[in-house]
């Protein structure tokens, strides 16, 4: 059975030593209490729950899965109890407003909590993850009445939030969706339609469900500009908050799927269910993006979380498993063979994994600091800049961290050889579980298209230029530091390449309508590796400043590995981007 140790030391290094998060956060209104001590105490507590409560039911949850019977869903043994403990501990409402019972803590802290929860039990973590997205969406777009009725119960974890977007014929292209909303006489709406693949649509851990549903009003414009968002509870709440009448919504079936088997995925039927409009008519997709953007970063975190658990278990195995001898002489001559960790390929797989995970963690924390600033900074231009960084990084984190999540879990499975393929060791579960993260919440290709087609062009390139300014500012402290040159020089080379390729792509897109689509995924990966390298510069700077110690020496060595063995990948990605669309588009449809 796999094990998990919360990587608190690395989280503290990134949060406190690299980014001094407490200084930044406590200066923001509402986060005055987010001191380093408080952050550490929350992380410590979360680590205990993850290691002691959530990890022990991860493998059994996968084996048992969710059961469907007559519209009811039973989660695997232990989930209900674990969820109760989690909700009572206040973890569902960590960042929610204290006005409604939340703890009012920053999203930066939520990232670290989400990473640990995901590492311990990816299926479990999706339930509160969706509720948190619902809380944010209602907080931004709900009326006071809607907030008063629903937020306290969502925040306490008594009620589950869901997002109901996908329909059988409308996945990536939500403009095709057909669910209908017919106005009732009392100002509510009757929602009719079928939604598929709805995570947490029905289960036995909460009393009620708050579905956020996309549907069309009569006469709504076609496409994505004619979609409205509705709140549809499973049970209609009475004025005193107790549960009233059952609404005409329910799960028709659940999916049998490759992984995340303890996270239920439902087909939901809405048969004239009573719903309330959230936000303005026809502006529902824009409103839903408040939840989707939060969930996209959350899904990126899921990718990191699985990679971390895979890395930890593959490393332990590589130290223990003895096969073959080291090429440069026996390391443990008293044994029949050396641990497989002596072999260059095994070390390469582990270092590849670790050098990416640590960069992803740093990039995520940096991005979440921007999320917090974008929400509450008192200065408008600072809010705008931070919002730009969040918007630019969202597709990169969602896509790159989940693509690497899949690659890393696979690489780590390979470290275990045949045992990796056997269920008992838990590695194959990680490979299966992480796979969906590349697909849901907008496939990774849709993310890449968002980056090249939208985010680069937005506000005349303001997002990209803003990032370049941020990078320039952060590099000022590295000027004249020869001890950092092995990090700064390759990073600057990759950055210059990214800038040139970005210009090339923008120019080329004007000439060829397929240019962006052909380049999108390779360009996103090139971008990701470059900003990972930026994170390594920042981590290396602080590790060198620390002036020794095992943790810092290891950090520097892992960073050197990244600079020499991972970052050069930008050269081939650049060549792929510049190869254009012709090699992909020239084969006729009939020839496929």
Ligand X SMILES: Cc1cc2nc3c(=O)[nH]c(=O)nc-3n(C[C@H](O)[C@H](O)[C@H](O)COP(=O)(O)OP(=O)(O)OC[C@H]3O[C@@H](n4cnc5c(N)ncnc54)[C@H](O)[C@@H]3O)c2cc1C
Query: 254 has which bridge partners?
Result: 266
Q: Any contact of residue 188 with ligand X (CB under 6 A)?
A: no
What's the CA gap between 565 and 586, in Å, rounded?
A: 34
Q: Any contact of residue 446 with ligand X (CB under 6 A)?
A: yes
Q: What is the largest CA-CA distance in the chain?
A: 84
User: CB-wise, 197 or 552, nearer to ligand X?
Assistant: 197
What's the CA gap between 366 and 109, in Å, rounded?
A: 11
User: CB-wise, 54 or 165, nearer to ligand X?
Assistant: 165
Residues between 401 and 420 that touch ligand X (CB under 6 A): none
**Among 16, 80, 257, 321, which residue sits at the site for ligand X (rule: CB under 6 A)?**
257
**Among 172, 238, 465, 564, which residue sits at the site for ligand X (rule: CB under 6 A)?**
172
Q: What number of other Cβ atoms are within 10 A of residue 93's Cβ?
A: 25
User: CB-wise, 294 or 385, nearer to ligand X?
Assistant: 294
Angle at 104 between CA 102 and CA 108, to 5 degrees: 125
Query: 278 has which bridge partners?
Result: 229
What's the CA gap between 364 and 15, in Å, rounded?
A: 10
Q: Any contact of residue 229 with ligand X (CB under 6 A)?
A: no
Integer distance in angstroms from the first to the last C-alpha of the chain? 44
User: CB-wise, 131 or 370, nearer to ligand X?
Assistant: 131
CB of 520 to ligand X, least distance (A): 8
What's the CA gap between 469 and 379, in Å, rounded?
A: 18
Q: Is 68 helix (H, G, I), strand (E, B) or coil?
A: strand
Residue with smallest beta-carbon separation from ligand X: 171
CB-based contacts of 174: which residues, under 8 Å, 6+ apart? 165, 214, 224, 227, 285
What's the CA gap between 208 and 221, in Å, rounded?
A: 33
**Among 198, 215, 408, 577, which residue sits at the site for ligand X (rule: CB under 6 A)?**
198
Nearest to 503 by CA among 397, 578, 450: 578
What's the CA gap between 405 and 561, in Å, rounded?
A: 19
Q: Any contact of residue 440 with ligand X (CB under 6 A)?
A: yes
Taking only Cα atoms into account, the Rg of the chain, rounded to an integer number of angstroms, comes to 24
Contact segment (CB under 6 A) with ligand X among 23-31, 78-86, 164-172, 564-572 equals 164-172
* DSSP symbols for 245-313: EEPSEEEEEE---SS-TTS-EEEEEEEEEEEEEESSTTBHHHHHHHHHHHHHHHHHHHHHHHHHHHHHH
**Among 371, 436, 475, 533, which residue sits at the site for ligand X (rule: CB under 6 A)?**
436
**Among 57, 66, 87, 165, which residue sits at the site for ligand X (rule: CB under 6 A)?**
165
CB of 96 to ligand X, least distance (A): 20
Instruction: Tell me, yes or no, if 441 is annotated catalytic.
Output: yes
**Among 7, 76, 93, 171, which residue sits at the site for ligand X (rule: CB under 6 A)?**
171
CB of 253 to ligand X, least distance (A): 14
Instruction: State the number of binding residues for ligand X (CB under 6 A).
Output: 20
Contact segment (CB under 6 A) with ligand X among 159-167, 311-319, 320-328, 550-558 equals 159-167
**Among 443, 546, 578, 581, which residue sits at the site for ligand X (rule: CB under 6 A)?**
443
Q: Any contact of residue 526 with ligand X (CB under 6 A)?
A: no
Catalytic residue among 99, 441, 511, 589: 441
User: CB-wise, 10 or 403, nearer to ligand X?
Assistant: 403
Contact segment (CB under 6 A) with ligand X among 81-89, 133-141, 345-353, 435-443 equals 435-443
Q: Any contact of residue 199 with ligand X (CB under 6 A)?
A: yes
CB of 441 to ligand X, least distance (A): 6
Q: Any contact of residue 429 with ligand X (CB under 6 A)?
A: no
Nearest to 54 by CA among 297, 305, 401, 296: 305
Q: Any contact of residue 478 with ligand X (CB under 6 A)?
A: no
CB-based contacts of 588: which residues, under 8 Å, 6+ apart? none
User: CB-wise, 65 or 387, nearer to ligand X?
Assistant: 65
CB of 294 to ligand X, least distance (A): 13
User: CB-wise, 173 or 345, nearer to ligand X?
Assistant: 173
**Among 79, 111, 150, 197, which residue sits at the site for ligand X (rule: CB under 6 A)?**
197
CB of 202 to ligand X, least distance (A): 12
Q: Any contact of residue 166 with ligand X (CB under 6 A)?
A: yes
CB-based contacts of 512: which residues, under 8 Å, 6+ apart? 580, 581
- Strands 189-199 and 265-278 turn out to be antiparallel
Interface ranges with ligand X (CB under 6 A): 163-166, 171-172, 197-199, 257, 265, 436, 439-443, 445-446, 449
For the annotated catalytic residues, the residue numbers are 441
């Amino acid at each position: 059975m796999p094990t998990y140790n919360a990587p608190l030391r690395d989280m503290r290094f990134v949060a406190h030593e690299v980014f001094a998060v407490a200084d930044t956060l406590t200066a923001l209104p509402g986060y005055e209490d987010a001191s380093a001590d408080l952050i550490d105490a929350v992380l410590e507590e979360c680590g205990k729950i993850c290691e002691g409560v959530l990890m022990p039911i991860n493998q059994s949850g996968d084996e048992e899965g969710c059961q469907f019977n007559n519209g009811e869903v039973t989660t695997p043994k232990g989930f209900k109890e674990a969820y109760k403990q989690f909700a009572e501990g206040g973890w569902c409402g960590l960042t929610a407003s204290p006005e409604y019972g939340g703890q009012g803590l920053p999203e930066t802290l939520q990232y670290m909590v989400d990473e640990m929860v995901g590492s311990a039990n990816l299926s479990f973590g999706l339930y509160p993850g969706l509720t948190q997205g619902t809380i944010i969406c209602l907080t931004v777009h709900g009326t006071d009445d809607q907030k008063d009725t629903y937020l306290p119960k969502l925040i306490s974890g008594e009620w589950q939030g869901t997002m109901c977007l996908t329909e059988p014929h409308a996945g990536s292209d939500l403009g095709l969706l057909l669910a209908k909303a017919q106005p009732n006489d009392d100002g509510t709406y009757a929602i009719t339609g079928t939604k598929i693949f709805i995570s947490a649509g029905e289960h036995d851990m909460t009393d009620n469900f708050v579905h956020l549903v996309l549907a069309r009003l009569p006469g709504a414009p076609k496409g994505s500009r004619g979609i409205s968002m509705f709140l549809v509870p499973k049970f209609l709440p009475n004025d005193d908050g107790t549960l009233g009448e059952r609404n005409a919504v329910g799960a028709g079936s659940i999916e049998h799927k490759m992984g995340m088997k303890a996270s239920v995925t439902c087909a939901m039927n809405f048969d004239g269910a009573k719903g309330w409009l959230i936000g303005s008519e026809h502006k529902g997709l824009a409103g839903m993006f408040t939840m989707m953007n939060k969930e996209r970063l959350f899904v990126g975190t899921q990718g990191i979380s699985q990679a971390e658990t895979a890395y930890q278990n593959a490393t332990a195995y590589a130290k223990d498993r003895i096969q073959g001898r080291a090429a440069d002489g026996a390391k443990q001559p008293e044994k029949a063979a050396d641990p497989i960790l002596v072999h260059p390929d095994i070390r390469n797989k582990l270092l590849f994994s670790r050098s990416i995970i640590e960069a992803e963690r740093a990039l995520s924390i940096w991005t979440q600091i921007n999320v917090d600033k974008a929400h509450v900074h008192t200065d408008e231009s600072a809010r705008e800049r931070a919002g730009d960084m969040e918007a630019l990084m969202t597709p990169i984190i969602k896509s790159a961290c989940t693509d690497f999540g899949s690659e890393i879990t696979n690489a780590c499975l390979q470290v275990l050889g045949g045992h990796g393929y056997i269920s008992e060791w838990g590695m194959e579960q990680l490979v299966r579980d992480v796979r969906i993260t590349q697909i849901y919440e907008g496939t990774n290709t849709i993310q890449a298209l968002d980056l090249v087609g939208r985010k680069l062009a937005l506000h005349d390139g303001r997002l990209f230029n803003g990032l370049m300014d941020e990078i320039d500012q952060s590099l000022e402290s590295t000027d004249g530091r020869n001890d950092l040159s092995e990090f700064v020089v390759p990073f600057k080379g990759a950055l210059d390449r990214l800038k040139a390729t970005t210009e090339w792509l923008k120019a080329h897109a004007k000439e060829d309508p397929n240019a962006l689509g052909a380049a999108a995924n390779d360009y996103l990966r090139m971008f990701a590796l470059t900003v990972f390298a930026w994170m390594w510069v920042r981590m290396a700077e602080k590790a060198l400043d620390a002036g020794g110690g095992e943790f810092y020496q290891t950090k520097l060595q892992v960073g050197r590995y990244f600079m020499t063995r991972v970052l050069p990948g930008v050269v081939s990605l650049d060549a792929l981007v510049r190869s254009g669309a012709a090699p992909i588009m020239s084969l006729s449809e009939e020839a496929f």
